[in-house]
Amino acid sequence: MLNRKDSITFWHIPIIMALSLLIDILGDPPNRWHPVAWMGSTIAAARKHSPREGIAAQFIYGAGLAVGGVLAMVGVGRLLAAVLKTLPFLPAIVLEAIVLKMTLSLSGLSKAGDAVRVPLERGDLPTARQQLSWHLVSRDTAELSEAQVTAATVESLAENTSDGVIAPLFYYTLFGLPGALAYRFLNTADAMLGYRDAAREWLGKASARLDDGANLLPARITAALFVLGAPLVALDGRMAFSMWQRDARQTDSPNAGHPMSAMAGALGVELDKVGQYNLGAGLGKPQARDIGRSMWLVRLASVLSVVFFGLAAWLFGGRTHAD
């Protein structure tokens, strides 16, 4: 039996991660209590004071924001970890899981997917288009067909499994709460600033490139988890692997194509973004029910990640990030 003087060891990592996924089922707290909302508010406030002209000035300001925010989150994570060490063992484990849950978005992905799936299944394409633009994509959805709305939804669910679940758990396994919080800040900065419009092209350049680097391994781990999990939810693991190997490099992003192409193969459908990529070309057109099928694989991949990251902590562990 461990007492409170012992730090969190390798076998506590999967327990905390599993508990965080269970807590995530309850959904998210209001924005005023959500750390990611605070990160977003901080980034938005900082953007108001960014240089309006000058590529170099915008890039330097954006890089300072990204790096400064990451370092601040590392500091916050270390402070939280230090406080948790002073608490009785069981409350410390639960509170750490609650904080970790705040970096995850599995329940949010499920709700976003259902927001599009439900109107599609009842034949209400205009509402499905609207829900897609509200919850999952930034592109114009007004003219998308039913198959294109479905494809965009499945693509977003697959990509955000990496960004919103696997990557935070990956960095938690390596570095504890500082790693998970730092990753979440960087990913939030990229989501808010990483666009190629005139106002954000150079302001968000550093955030985008750092986020690309941070997601290199998690995106590929997510694709591998989709391949491994597909047969367990009556999907096609062999086709998932085949499409992953064939199509992953079609996207402009060095990472997004990996989970998306594996998902396309698992479902046996094309995920086509006109003029940019066609993942799973030659397979069937996606239908509304494929959104629900993809979410089963997303959930299973999230559970499998806890198993594999926990195993990795055991193999390479002993004392781990909380020491």
Rounded Cα distance, 150 and 268, in Å: 13
Helices (runs of H) and strands (runs of E) counted in the chain: 14, 2
If pLDDT is split at 50, 70 and 90, which confidence band does 321 have?
A: low
* Residue spans of beta strands (DSSP E) within the chain: 271-273, 277-279
CA–CA dist 302, 299 (Å, integer): 5
With a cut of 60, say whether residue 123 has pLDDT above it. yes
8 pLDDT exceeds 90?
no
For residue 133, is pLDDT > 60? yes
In a domain, 114, yes or no: yes
Residue 322 has pLDDT above 60, yes or no: no
The total of structural domains in the chain comes to: 1
Q: Is residue 127 part of a domain?
A: yes
Interval 32-87: pLDDT, tens: 999 999 999 999 999 999 998 899 999 999 999 999 999 999 999 999 999 999 99
Residue 273: inside a domain = yes
The three-state secondary structure class of 9 is: strand
pLDDT value for 317:
65
More confident residue, 182 or 318: 182
The pLDDT-based confidence of 319 (bands split at 50, 70, 90) is very low
Q: Is 146 part of a structural domain of the chain?
A: yes
Specify if 323 maps to a domain. Answer: no
More confident residue, 320 or 146: 146
> Does residue 1 lie in a domain region?
no
Mean pLDDT, rounded, for 11-17? 89
**What's the mean pLDDT in 9-15?**
79
Q: How far apart are the C-alpha atoms of 130 and 123, rounded to whole Å?
A: 14
Domain hosting 118: range is 12-316
Average pLDDT, the chain: 93
- pTM, rounded to two decimals: 0.93
Whether 18 contacts 25, CB under 8 Å? no
The share of the chain scoring above pLDDT 70, in percent, equals 95
The answer as to whether 87 is a domain residue is yes
Residue 71 lies in a domain: yes
Residue 323 has pLDDT above 90, yes or no: no
- At residue 268 the predicted structure's pLDDT band, cuts being 50, 70 and 90, is very high
Question: What is the predicted pLDDT for the residue at 86?
Answer: 93
* Residue located via tokens 């499998």: 304
Q: What is the pLDDT of residue 9?
A: 61
Can you give the pLDDT at residue 320? 46
Task: With cut-offs at 50, 70 and 90, classify the pLDDT of residue 152.
Answer: very high
Mean pLDDT for the stretch of residues 6-11:
56
pLDDT reported for residue 275: 86
